[in-house]
Amino acid sequence: MSSMWGTTLKISLFGESHGPAIGVVIDGLPAGCPIDLEQAVAYCRRRAPGRTPWSTARQESDQAEILSGLYRDRTSGAPLAAIIRNRDTRSADYEELQRKPRPGHADLTARQRYDGYQDPRGSGHFSGRLTAPLTFAGAICSQILAQHGIRTAAHICQIGAVKDQLFNPLACDQKQLDALSGRDFPVLDTASGARMAEAVLEAASAGDSLGGAIEGAIFGLPAGMGDPMFDNLESQLASLLFGIPAVKGVSFGAGFSAAAMRGSAFNDTPAMSDGAITFLSNNSGGVIGGISTGQPLLFHVAVRPPASIGREQQTVDLLSGENAVLAVRGRHDPCIVPRAVPVVEAAAAIFSLDVLLGARRWSHD
């Protein structure tokens, strides 16, 4: 507890990696929004394994079944529930890990939290597989946002030491989005992408894994959304992003670079352009005082390397109470950053729709 998130729009995630099904309930969707399920499937397919040379061999169609909330291809206003059946499960891989917890993995903390009663198969509720229903929820939200001119995007901005270009901070650059849309390996600069893939394969061949970072963006969010103090946009989005397994850092705009900046360089200068206010930079990442400026909302997410690696590691044997050696078997991604990109986009979409639905439209007339 708790696998629920949201204020006006609320999602409730459930499922374990090797249980009968995983799923999501989306509560608070406006009624009457047309939903294209084929488009949602395509959105989610980007998260599915098997699109990179190294991704896990587990095959899942990840086809969501809608149980409620749609009527005649539109949202009915009632909670939208969707489930995804688990099929290709090999639970035998996880027996040893109950005794010898994987270093860096939730095996130990889950045991402490749930007194050993957690479902350990495929990491149970801790599995990255739970991001499948999260992504599905984001796919639904994205379609509704699109009807209001809002879209979210993300790309790999770092794997190992290799960095990608960044989004144009001043405006939605359609060329950048087009470049990303066709790619299995979502980077803006293909040359960097090739070097990233190389770094991952190198780590994988050493029985190791690699971390990375993702840049996310929300384009089209109107100015004046959010609040100071605790319902600020950064708190809300960060609380959702840290719910994605493996995320260890979230920053907005210049982020940690701000530590070395002077105010004169950091402050985004406003300027009049045809009667409207524009800005000459976007170090604030589109949020000031917790409230949207109308610029692209830009953020970064740090992704740790996967804990499950093939090479031998020191660990403890909980039965014998002695140190032990472990080599994790089974199917594990050496780098989850590419598959995390649509998850980050989805999270940003869920967040954006929650913000949009909760925005006050109070009239003094």
Q: Which is nearer to a copy of itself, 177 or 358 (CB)?
A: 358
If binding is defined by CB under 8 A, does position 314 make contact with a copy of itself? yes
Which one of 193, 285, 338, 342 is in contact with a copy of itself (CB under 8 A)? 285
Structure tokens at 158: 């770092």
If binding is defined by CB under 8 A, does position 203 make contact with a copy of itself? yes
If binding is defined by CB under 8 A, does position 104 make contact with a copy of itself? yes
Distance of alpha carbon 179 from its chain centroid, rounded?
20
If binding is defined by CB under 8 A, does position 306 make contact with a copy of itself? yes
Closest approach of Cβ 128 to a copy of itself, in Å? 11
Q: Which is nearer to a copy of itself, 171 or 325 (CB)?
A: 325
Measured distance CA(125)–CA(15) in Å, rounded: 6
Please identify, among the stretches 47-55, 164-172, 179-187, 237-245, the one whose residues bind a copy of itself according to the rule CB under 8 A.
237-245
Which is it for strands 212-219 and 322-326: parallel, antiparallel or unpaired?
A: unpaired
Closest approach of Cβ 178 to a copy of itself, in Å? 26
If binding is defined by CB under 8 A, does position 268 make contact with a copy of itself? yes
Measured distance CA(4)–CA(51) in Å, rounded: 30
If binding is defined by CB under 8 A, does position 209 make contact with a copy of itself? yes
Nearest to 189 by CA among 159, 151, 218: 159
> In sequence order, what are the beta bridge partners of 270?
279
Which one of 46, 48, 49, 69 is in contact with a copy of itself (CB under 8 A)? 69
Which one of 141, 150, 188, 288 is in contact with a copy of itself (CB under 8 A)? 288
Closest approach of Cβ 175 to a copy of itself, in Å? 26
Which is it for strands 74-75 and 151-159: parallel, antiparallel or unpaired?
A: unpaired
Which one of 63, 231, 327, 329 is in contact with a copy of itself (CB under 8 A)? 231
- Identify the DSSP state of 113: H
Please identify, among the stretches 6-14, 35-43, 49-57, 175-183, the one whose residues bind a copy of itself according to the rule CB under 8 A.
6-14
Burial class (CB in 10 A: 0-12, 13-18, 19+), 18: buried
Q: 71-100: which residues touch a copy of itself (CB under 8 A)?
A: 71, 74-81, 83
Distance of alpha carbon 156 from its chain centroid, rounded?
12
CA atoms 251, 256, 258, 259: torsion sign? positive
The CA–CA distances, whole Å, from 307 to 85, 102, 246, 318 equal 25, 7, 9, 19
Cβ-based neighbours of 198, under 8 Å, separated by 6 or more: none
Q: How many CB atoms neighbour CB 87 within 10 A?
A: 11
The CA–CA distances, whole Å, from 123 to 56, 116, 257, 270 equal 15, 13, 35, 49
Closest approach of Cβ 127 to a copy of itself, in Å? 9
Reply yes or no: is the peptide bond before residue 2 cis, omega within 30 of 0.
Answer: yes
Closest approach of Cβ 74 to a copy of itself, in Å? 6
Which one of 59, 181, 191, 224 is in contact with a copy of itself (CB under 8 A)? 224
Which one of 140, 145, 250, 340 is in contact with a copy of itself (CB under 8 A)? 250
Residues in the interface with a copy of itself (CB under 8 A) total 154
Which one of 102, 129, 151, 339 is in contact with a copy of itself (CB under 8 A)? 102
If binding is defined by CB under 8 A, does position 342 make contact with a copy of itself? no
If binding is defined by CB under 8 A, does position 352 make contact with a copy of itself? no
Cβ-based neighbours of 126, under 8 Å, separated by 6 or more: 106, 110, 118, 245
Site string for a copy of itself, 140-169 (x = CB under 8 A): -------x----------xxxx--------
Closest approach of Cβ 303 to a copy of itself, in Å? 7
Whether the CB-CB separation of 305 and 209 falls below 8 Å is answered with yes
Q: 163-202: which residues touch a copy of itself (CB under 8 A)?
A: none
If binding is defined by CB under 8 A, does position 125 make contact with a copy of itself? yes
Measured distance CA(204)–CA(218) in Å, rounded: 33
